[in-house]
Structures are given as structure tokens and as C-alpha cells.
Structure 1
Amino acid sequence: MKKIMLLLLIGTSFVIAKGKLNIIDINKAEELYKGKKTLFIDARPYKKYQIGTIMGSVNITPKLYEEQKRFLPINRIANIVTYCGGYACKLSDKIAAKLQKAGYKNVFVYKGGYPEWKAKGKPTMGLVRKSKAQTGPYKPTLDPITVNGVQLYLLPEDGEANEDGLVDQFWLYGQMKDGKNPPKGVHIVDTRKAKQYNAEHIKGATNAPFDTKKETMDTSKFPKDGIIVLHCNSGVVSVDARRSIKDEELKKRVFIYDISYVCDKKNKNCKLTPNEAL
């Protein structure tokens, strides 16, 4: 019996229902990405993920799925896009199948994956790699701004400050590396679940979990002074948390710190690594 493939045209993008998998092209992937309500999952091994991945993605591999599934949204109707190393790669198919088995209803497989996304100049990120340009003191690209009495640097985008509240992670990393506390007036807030926060967190950070199902976060205990810098360990949760803030005055002094970190078992030593747009 021949396999039935259903082609659904959506503008210039498409979704192919092949068996149980929904295959999408780069146009549909970008449409979902810009909608900012979709979780992107890189199914490749961690070493490849840390070198370069689609901006805001989390890393969940078929081999480590049971350990990493804690990063998945609670809402089973959330949009999820899986991808890996291109059209010949099957890892994204395997993750998509596991997600569907777990009850997720809106799972898409972007077959072009990271290679195509990067080649088309779409937003990417990766861990800092040593180079001559990164030796010596880091110098921010943009001039500093002052918010609520605190001087900070924002991450540039097309030569100007970005509109998503992303702090220049290299600048803040320089202020906090080697176990230092955050600069005066900078309040680091971990937006992950309390259990994750208690297991490990950046020195000096407090916890304000973002409810991914209700898309809300309790900001009542946020300090009145200085600025609030949200972070998680992938970028996805903290970005959504900031977007959920309805108080526009508060939002003006809330920013995002795009940082990855690993702590020891006693949570005394955390190695911070700022993520870098490639």
C-alpha cells in the first residue's frame, strides 16, 4: 500500500504530513520562530549544539531524552519544532516521534535543520570560542545606557541596541566571572522551576519561576531598586517570562542574560559561559 503524503500550502511555506510526522520547510520554521510561541529543539549531540544552534533552542537528544525531557513545556498543545543536521539526519524524526508518543499535539520536523538555517543567515547562537579577538579585556560595541541608576550595556542588533532587552552577555560575564557577585544594582532572577533552581543556580540569583502553562510570573517580590536581569539555562524561558510582564514601567528595567552554566554538586562552583550569536 502506497504511503499517503498530504501537502498543505500555507502562503510560501508548507507542511507535509508524512506518516505521523509533520515536515516543514524553512519558511514555515521561520514563521513559527517569529511567532515567539514555539519551542525549538536541537536533537544533535551536545558538542555540536554548543558550537552552533538556532537562537533560543534547547538541546534534547534521543539518547538522553529521559534526562532532558524536563525542558519540555507542560502544555501538550504547545508548538514544538525539532531539527538536527540537515535533510539526511534522522535524530529530529526520533525526537518528534517521542514527543508525539508523550502526547504533544503540535510537533513539527524542520528537515533543513541548523545547516540550512545558518546558511540563510537566520538567528543562531553558540558557546564562546577562544580567538585572538577575544583575548584581553572585552569592550562592548555600544555605548552604555543608564536604567534606574544602573549603567549597563545592551547586545547590539544591526548596529543598534536590541529591542528584546538582551544584556551584552560578554560584558556581564566579565563582571561576574570567577565567582563574583552581580554588580551593584543588578538583580539576577532565575526563571526556572524552584526544583531546578534549588539544584543549581548562579551565585546571587533569586528565584521567580515562570509558569509556562499560564504564561505568568510572580513579580511582586522583585526589588524596587536597580534592574532585574532574568535568566534560565537556555534563553527560552527567560525570554517568554519577560514578554509576559504586563506592567510596562516594570518591564523597562527588566532584561535578559543569555548565559549557560554548569555547577558542581554542592552548587558552590558554577562555570559560566556566555552564549554567542554566530
Structure 2
Amino acid sequence: MLFKRSKEIKPKEISYEELINLMKVDHCLVDSRGRSSYAKFHIDGAINIPDEEFTELSHLLPDSTDTPLVFYCKNVYCVLSPNSAQKAVSLGYKNVYLYKGGVEEWIKKKNIELPQMNEPGKLTKEQFIEIYKRKDDEYLIIDVNDSYDYKIKHLKGAINYPYGYIITNYNKLPKNKKLIFYCASGTRSEDIYYFLKEKNIFKDGEIFYLGASVIFNGDKAKIV
């Protein structure tokens, strides 16, 4: 399926308050993150259509193109929901909305306390920076953003294995180094980590992911 860019219709960004009001009427709320992130936590009533699987799962969308569609992902840095929302516009849906605050804002606004999970492969901002500054040959830092985004900006020394490539070619990942995955928002990298854990081809301590967003301002990277 080819998705054409529409210059006439763009998804409308909405706030938390606007989302609350929209949820009072007939609508379809779509979580564009991967399956593992959705399973950990999602907004009540949301269906899961990972952006990477949009074509295969678009049949889950409402039959009526007039039904309001609301897409969300992790946070304002995540590109998954904007991508999916634009694809929905290309399919002819007329009322497409984008809740850019995502689950992070929702959790904060609702004062939700998530249960603490043991995540041995999750690196904090400080842990990642410490490893990155050491330039340790023991580790290989992998950018799982799309190739286009990687070419625009990426961390120096990081190589690019896009999310979609890893899903279908995970057996080709290097086995001679410890792998650290990162992305723009932390969503894709987390999903890749748990995807590989399910495949059981790496042991604990062999793969990690940065549980934070990596954004760029000019040539400078910022981890938030």
C-alpha cells in the first residue's frame, strides 16, 4: 500500500483537555507504539496499531472515514503517531487528530503510578552517557531510527539498523559486542529490546536500550 502525502488535510494536534472532550463522543483511539510498550501501559480504550505495521493492521480502523481518529505514542519527540496519523489521512479519513503529549503526559495528568519493573537492559541517561564517553569497544551503539532521520542527525559513532530492518533481520545483528539501542523518543529502542528478548537470541547483559529521548539542536545532541 502506498501512502500519498496530502497537502490539503493535516492531522490536527490536540491537547490533553481536548482529548478528554473528544473521548466523550464516538471515536477511535490508536496507540502507534510497538506491542511491548502497549502491553506495559496504554490509555484506556486504545487499540494497538504499531506504526511499523500500519499497512497490515489498517483493517482495524473504523469503516467510516468520518469517525474521529486520535493517534498517540510516547511523547512529543516520538515520530510514530505523526507518521500513522498522516497515513490515515492518506487513506481518506477526514477527522484525524494527534495527541502529541502521548502516554507520558497522560500518566502525569492522571497522576498514575506505574508498578516498578525489573528492567536489567534499560539504561538511564547517566549510564548511557558514561558508556558513550568511554568509547568502549565492548559496546556497539545502534540508532534504530529510519535511515532518512539517521542521515540527517545521529550520535557520532552510532551505526544505523532501522527498526523495521531489525524486525525482519534480527539474526544478522552483531554478536561480538554488547548492543545498545537508542532512538528519538526511546519507544522504538525499547520495543526492539523486548522483541529480541522474546526471540531469545541474546543473553542478559548482551543487549541494552536507552530509556530516554535523543533530540538534536543543530550539531548538539540532548538526552531527555
TM-score by length of 2: 0.54
1:235 is aligned, of 150, 165, 186, to 186
Q: Which residue matches 1:273? A: 222
Deviation at residue 233 of structure 1 after TM alignment:
1.0
Residue in 2 that maps onto 1:150: none
Percent identity of paired positions between Structure 1 and Structure 2:
16
Query: Which residue, 127, 140, 145 being the options, matches 1:171?
Result: 127
**Residue pair 1:210, 1:216 contacting (<8 A) in 2 also:** no
Instruction: Give the drift of 1:29.
Output: 1.3
Deviation at 1:28, TM superposition (A): 7.0
Q: Do 2:182 and 2:214's aligned partners in 1 also have CA atoms closer than 8 Å?
A: no
Shift >4 Å, 4+ stretches:
95-99, 107-110, 112-116
Which structure 2 segments of 5+ residues have no match?
A: 1-22, 31-40, 62-69, 74-82
2:170 maps to 1:218: yes
- Structure 2 contact 29–45 (Cα < 8 Å) conserved: no
Q: Using the alignment, how far apart are the partners of 1:116 and 1:172 within structure 2?
A: 26
CA RMSD of aligned residues (A): 4.4
Equivalent position SS for 1:250: coil
CA deviations on 1:80-133 (whole Å, 9 max, x unpaired) are 7339xxxxxxxxxxx99855322288x7877x9766531433379xxxxxxxxx
How far, CA to CA, are the matches of 2:124 and 2:157 in structure 1?
19
The one of the two structures with greater contact order (alpha-carbon pairs below 8 A, sep at least 6) is 2
TM-aligned CA distance change 1:100 to 1:208, over 3 Å: closer
| Structure 1 residue runs without a partner (length 5+) | 1-14, 40-71, 84-94, 125-156
Corresponding position of 1:102: 90
Aligned to 1:190: 143
| Mapped pair 1:81 → 2:55 | no
Alignment-derived partner of residue 118 in structure 1? 108
* Matching residue's letter, 1:81: F
Residues 51-83 of structure 1: per-residue CA shift (max 9 Å, x gap):
xxxxxxxxxxxxxxxxxxxxx546243687339
| In 2, Cα distance between equivalents of 1:192 and 1:272 | 15
Look up the match of 1:57.
none
Check 1:96–1:187 CA distance in 2 against 1; reply closer, same or farther (3 A cut).
closer
Counterpart residue identity of residue 170, structure 2: D
Q: Which residue of 1 aligns with 2:214?
A: 260
Quick one: distance in 1 between partners of 2:105 and 2:124?
26
Aligned with 2:88: secondary structure?
A: helix
**One-letter amino acid matched to 1:222:** P
CA distance in 2, matches of 1:96, 1:196: 16
Change in Cα spacing, 1:240 to 1:96, as seen in structure 2 (3 Å) is: closer
Q: How many residues in Structure 1 have an aligned counterpart in Structure 2?
A: 167
Kindly indicate which of the two structures has a greater share of residues assigned to strand.
1
Q: Does the CA contact (< 8 Å) of 2:143 and 2:162 recur in 1?
A: yes
Distance 1:96 1:204 in 2: 30
Structure showing greater Rg: 1
Q: Could you say what secondary structure the match of 2:172 adopts?
A: coil
Post-superposition Cα deviations, 1:114-164, rounded to whole Å, max 9, x if no partner, equal: 66531433379xxxxxxxxxxxxxxxxxxxxxxxxxxxxxxxx84x7426x
1:209 aligns with 2:162: yes
- C-alpha change, 1:123 and 1:224, in structure 2 (3 Å) is farther
Q: 1:99 to 1:193 in 2, by over 3 A?
A: closer
